[in-house]
Amino acid sequence: MTPVADGVVAEVERPAAAAAAVASHRTEPLLAVEEVSVAFGGLRAVDRLSFEVDPGTIVGLIGPNGAGKSTALKIIGGEVRPTSGRVRFDGTDLVGTAPHEAARRGLVRTFQLGGEFGRLTVMENLLVAVPGMKGQSLLGALAGKRFWRASQDAEVRRARDILSGLQLRDKEDAYASDLSGGQRKLVEIARALMARPKMLLLDEPMAGVNRSLARRIEETLSSLRAEGIALLLVEHELGSVERLCERVVVMASGSKIAEGDMSEVRSRDDVLSAYLGRRR
């Protein structure tokens, strides 16, 4: 068994019943996207999108290229402000807050491409994500190492645990820009874990990743769910989506066209038509 985050054990497939049990303790979803729309000029990139994500669950957001998935992720993460609708996270409306506020409240996103801090080492990449570490203010920095060293040492140990769980321990001194594409994706996930998130927004974590690394990412995501972390997964690799997600939301041309479990939505004509370009 391999530790991934605080008290987390990897390679443990979380039973669906346990996921449901976690979700049943809450009266409202962790994330609620309510009638969200955004238009760029004349283009309506996202149109009245609504769905919910409960704690300890993995929801897939799928659809063909240009469906609006990444824009939806940017809206949820606070990077793009919607023209209408609400995004409620953990009981708070995120629309209108500063872009970094979502992460501070526990909603952390990863990037499809180039999300690493290239000329920072892997360890530094992880430490940047630690919220409220001593020495991050000007006065704290000027106070010197004696003020912040113990706090940093504790986070370094935690980062090493996470890196070990992802089999990246030997890469901690490597610059992130020197890693392979798959390793960079793992570093991003590890970095997001350092932020102690309640929920992760993952933008195509399997894209361009070899099969072995993709399997490792899948195991990691499963173990995060076991810890109670919610995940919203934008992914084109539908095999991974099917293995990981209890529920999927299908988008096409900015709108939600279907929602349900994978086996249910994949048989729908409108999904096949939009996703595979088939005529009805």
Partner 1 sequence: MSYYLTVMAMYILIGIIAAWGLNLQFGETGVLNFAYVMFIAAGAYTTAVFTLGHPSANGTQQYFWGTHLPFPIPWIASMAVGAVLGVLVGLVSLRRLRGDYQAMVMLVVSLIATYLVSANTGFLNGQTGLALIPAPFGSVHLSELNYRWFFVAVTAVVALLVFDVMRRITGSPLGRTMRAVRENEAAAVALGTNVVKIRLLTMAVGGAIAALAGAIEVQFIGAWSPAGWTYPETFGLFAAVLVGGRGNLGGVALGAFLVQGLFLEGTVLLPSLGNPDLVGAVQWITMGVMIMLFMWFRPRGVLPERRRRFATEARSRVPLLLVRAQRDARG
Q: Looking at beta carbons only, is 94 or 252 nearer to partner 1? A: 94
Least distance from C-beta 134 to partner 1, angstroms?
A: 7
Q: Where are the beta strands (DSSP E) in the chain?
A: 31-40, 43-53, 58-62, 84-89, 92-93, 107-109, 199-203, 230-234, 247-252, 255-260
What pairing do the DSSP bridges indicate for beta strands 107-109 and 199-203?
parallel
**Nearest distance, CB of residue 105 and partner 1, angstroms:** 9
By beta-carbon proximity to partner 1, the closer residue of 121 and 255 is 121
- In sequence order, which residues have a C-beta less than 8 Å from that of residue 17 and are 6 or more positions away? none
Min dist CB 65 to partner 1, Å, is 21
Question: Would you tell me how many other CB atoms lie within 10 Å of the CB of residue 252?
Answer: 20
Give, in order, the Cα–Cα distances in Å from 144 to each of 128, 134, 137: 18, 10, 11
Q: What's the rounded Cα separation, in Å, for the pair 162 and 180?
A: 18
Measured from the CB atom, the residue of 126 and 226 that comes closer to partner 1 is 126
Q: How far is the CB of 124 from partner 1 (least distance, A)?
A: 6
Contact assessment for residue 40 and residue 7, using Cβ atoms and an 8 Å cutoff: no
Q: Is 76 exposed, middle or buried (0-12, 13-18, 19+ CB in 10 A)?
A: buried
Binding site for partner 1 (CB under 8 A): 77, 79, 98-101, 103-104, 108-111, 114-121, 123-125, 127-131, 133-138, 140-145, 148, 152-153, 156-157, 172-173, 175, 191-192, 195
3-state SS string over 86-120? EEEECCEECCCCCCCHHHHCCEEECCCCCCCCCCC
Residue 128 and residue 191 in contact, taking contact as beta carbons nearer than 8 Å: yes
- Least CB distance from residue 185 to partner 1, whole Å? 13
- Residues 37 and 44: their CA atoms lie apart, in Å, by 7
Gap between the Cα atoms of 231 and 94, Å rounded: 17
Q: Which is nearer to partner 1, 131 or 239 (CB)?
A: 131
Minimum separation from the CB atom of position 235 to partner 1 (A): 18
Record the tokens describing residue 196, joined without a space. Answer: 């102690």
Name the minimum Å distance from CB 103 to partner 1. 3
Q: Which residue, 25 or 104, is less far from partner 1 as judged by CB?
A: 104
Specify the residue, 136 or 210, whose C-beta has the smaller distance to partner 1: 136
CB of 152 to partner 1, least distance (A): 7
User: Which is closer to partner 1, CB of 153 or CB of 269?
Assistant: 153
Specify the residue, 166 or 192, whose C-beta has the smaller distance to partner 1.
192
